Amino acid sequence: MSKETWLMLLNNMYRTLILNNRTYAAFNEKEVLPLVKHFSDKNVNEIFDPMSGYGTLVQYCEKFEIGTYCVELNTPSYLWQVLNNPQYSDIFISAIKQISERKKIWIVPKVRSEVSDEWYTDLGKEIILSLYRENENVFEHLVDKTFVETMSLALLLPFVSRLSCSLNGDVAHIKKGGLCVYYNYTDDYNHYLNELICDRLKKIKVNHKKNVIHQMTLGDCSKIQLPTKRFSSMITSPPYPNSRDYAKMFAPENYILDWLNGEGIIEMTSPETVTIGSNVVSGRVTGDIVSKSANEFINKIRDYKGTKKAMSDNKSYYVPYLKIILLIWKMHIVS
Q: What is the largest CA-CA distance in the chain?
A: 66
Mean pLDDT of the chain: 86
pTM of the predicted model as reported, rounded to 2 decimal places: 0.88
State how far the Cα of 179 lies from the Cα of 319, in Å rounded to an integer: 45
Per-residue pLDDT of 67-82, as tens digits, reads 999 999 889 999 999 9
Query: Do the Cβ atoms of 63 and 40 come closer than 8 Å?
Result: no
Q: What is the pLDDT of residue 113?
A: 96
Q: 59: closest CA among 32, 23, 41?
A: 32
Q: What's residue 335's pLDDT?
A: 45
Instruction: Tally Cβ neighbours within 10 Å of residue 59.
Output: 18
Query: Residue 291 region, left (φ>0) first, then alpha (ψ -120 to 50), else beta?
Result: beta
Beta-carbon contacts of residue 60 (< 8 Å; ≥ 6 apart): 27, 29, 32, 33, 36
Give dist(CA 38, CA 108) in Å, integer: 53
Q: Give the Cα separation of 210 and 201 in Å (integer).
A: 15
Length of the chain: 335
pLDDT tens per residue across span 99-113: 999 998 999 999 999
Distance CA 25, CA 9 (A): 21
Say whether pLDDT at 120 is over 70: yes
Give 158 or 316, the one with higher predicted confidence: 158
Say if CB 159 and CB 191 are below 8 A apart: no
pLDDT classification of 230: cutoffs 50, 70, 90: confident
Strands 214-218, 67-72: pairing is parallel
Helices 148-156, 89-101: crossing angle, 10 deg rounding: 70
Q: Which residues contact 14 (CB under 8 A, 6 or more apart)?
A: 80, 158, 161
- pLDDT tens sequence across 275-307: 554 445 555 666 677 778 778 888 898 899 989
Distances (CA, A) of 332 to 3, 45, 48, 51, 192: 49, 15, 11, 17, 42
pLDDT at 244 over 70: no
**Residue 70 parent element (H or E):** strand 67-72
| Mean pLDDT computed over 193-197 | 90
How far apart are the two ends of the chain, measured CA to CA in Å? 58
> Would you state the pLDDT for residue 2?
60
Pairing of strands 166-168, 174-176: antiparallel
Q: Region 58-65: what's the mean pLDDT?
A: 93
Residue at 228: amino acid letter: T
221: helix, coil or strand? Answer: coil
Q: Residue 14 burial by CB count (10 A; 0-12/13-18/19+): exposed, middle or buried?
A: buried
- Quote the Cα angle for 46-148-198, to 5°: 70
Residue whose C-alpha is closest to residue 271's, from 23, 121, 92, 51: 51
Predicted pLDDT of residue 157: 97
Of the candidates 38, 25, 7, the one whose C-alpha atom is nearest the C-alpha of residue 72 is 25
How much of the chain exceeds pLDDT 90, in percent?
54
Task: Judge whether residue 170 has pLDDT over 90.
Answer: no
